[in-house]
Structure 1
């Protein structure tokens, strides 16, 4: 459900930019975006909490007042272990997940960056491309919900590779997209898949190493992920400029996505270390 905000923003902003360009140009577009950010940017501080215990809840809706049997309590502790960074880095699953999720972020950032330009180069007008981008982001809202539901039925080890394969097939379609109807089919297809992969990507490390460890493990995994995510569009742009075509870089993206799917699939959940007492709720 948290993906609704990010996907909703990505759906609204292309329309805001189009409105700003219609009103006068880039200056007006940036002013409209700034006004929108100022209008809604303060709202999360009123409603966000760090973890369920802060509002008297437990994960998956379990209330703190609910009586839990000794056997069930032991099961809950085992299912949500507390890893140190050093313990996690000694496991094969950590490196396979890091590779898979980092490649996924790099490709996703590059595809999103070249979304409109690829369509316009293939003969689709800019307004239609921006409308397709807005539809793509809107479908991501639905995809985010579907991704969360998929995780309820399949472990991340299986659900994330499955969604990556759907994303890859959509990217093959995108390479061939040269008409308006194909652009909107891609927006629906890739939007659903990309939206589904976001929550699965987010929960991959907590799913393997427990939610109590997510902060310290993310301090190690986030830097390479964000660095590659930032350089992905830059490198893609260089390749596109040198060849005058998107075909080569998208073939590379397809290969990278397939390798990411295999990497996550090979990441077997490691055996949890001896359980330490979880942090007390504040």
Structure 2
């Protein structure tokens, strides 16, 4: 995320966009696909890591089936909220370079700004992970939308490279929350036994958000010759999702009940 925007800019300038895609594809295969196939393991036990007994017990305290999870409102709050965040991500990130050029910031500097976005996303993921360990998930999730609001306001009023970098940092921090908070929420709320199925049924919501954000920003630009109106819409959506996410509470199933209630 840090290097690719810069490389893409260099490749496009020197070799054209078609060749740039080819070169970036080879880079992905070499530094992402092959290491993933070689070094990623399914379980800690595959690496010889043994969980303590209390860790095993803690891990099975909450485990929802797919049907149980689908009947809880929290699952769909997480899914819709994540879809909205991916909607922001694609709607802003894909058009960010064009938006900055409209604000008289050149292609080279735009690539630099997007790299700041990537750095902030990486650091933000770590920070949001720590936040999830210290506060309730609903407050962390709400905080991601507050960060999005700050990023959008900064971006809307960006007219020079310094404001562009600041907006990119705020936006990257919010996107770090997009990557970290929902993943923690799914596991903490529903356990890990059916996590793949649960995330599988919610993934289409995320996909729709990611796919439609690009189109919405582009259509609005074609109509108004500006991205500003789109960003104001995203800002209002952030306000709505901020309050919507406050209804996010940890669901209960029979495994949460005291043992004497189960007998």
TM-score when normalising by structure 1: 0.83
- The separation in 2 between residues aligned to 1:97 and 1:193, in whole angstroms, is 16
Distance 1:219-1:76 versus aligned 2 partners, 3 A rule: closer
Distance 1:142-1:212 versus aligned 2 partners, 3 A rule: same
- The separation in 2 between residues aligned to 1:155 and 1:203, in whole angstroms, is 11
For 2:214, the equivalent position in structure 1 comes to: 233
8 Å CA contact retained: 1:16, 1:32: no
8 Å CA contact retained: 2:9, 2:107: no
For 1:13, the equivalent position in structure 2 comes to: 4
1:128 aligned to 2:120? no
- The separation in 2 between residues aligned to 1:273 and 1:180, in whole angstroms, is 55
For 2:70, the equivalent position in structure 1 comes to: 89
- For structure 2, which runs of at least 5 residues remain unmatched after alignment? 257-263
Aligned-residue RMSD, C-alpha = 2.0
Choose which of 219, 227, 236 in structure 2 pairs with 1:246: 227
8 Å CA contact retained: 2:216, 2:230: no
- The separation in 2 between residues aligned to 1:75 and 1:207, in whole angstroms, is 11
Deviations 1:218-250 (A, max 9, x none): 121001220231122112211111111112211
For 2:246, the equivalent position in structure 1 comes to: 265
- Residue 73 of structure 1, CA deviation: 6.3
SS at match of 2:2: helix
For 2:60, the equivalent position in structure 1 comes to: 77
Deviations 1:237-274 (A, max 9, x none): 11111111112211110111222222222111111234
- The separation in 1 between residues aligned to 2:112 and 2:42, in whole angstroms, is 36
- The separation in 1 between residues aligned to 2:210 and 2:227, in whole angstroms, is 18
For 2:120, the equivalent position in structure 1 comes to: 139
1:31-70 → structure 2 map (5 Å cutoff): 31-40=22-31, 41-57=33-49, 63-64=50-51, 66-68=52-54
- Residue 93 of structure 1, CA deviation: 1.5
Number of aligned positions between the proteins: 255
Deviations 1:43-72 (A, max 9, x none): 111111123343343xxxxx33x354xxx8
For 1:206, the equivalent position in structure 2 comes to: 187
Choose which of 7, 15, 22 in structure 2 pairs with 1:24: 15
Distance 1:54-1:264 versus aligned 2 partners, 3 A rule: farther
8 Å CA contact retained: 2:59, 2:191: no
- For structure 1, which runs of at least 5 residues remain unmatched after alignment? 1-9, 58-62, 276-282
TM-score when normalising by structure 2: 0.89
- The separation in 2 between residues aligned to 1:208 and 1:88, in whole angstroms, is 9
Choose which of 84, 89, 92 in structure 2 pairs with 1:108: 89
Distance 1:25-1:216 versus aligned 2 partners, 3 A rule: same
Choose which of 132, 139, 148 in structure 1 pairs with 2:129: 148
- The separation in 1 between residues aligned to 2:175 and 2:205, in whole angstroms, is 21
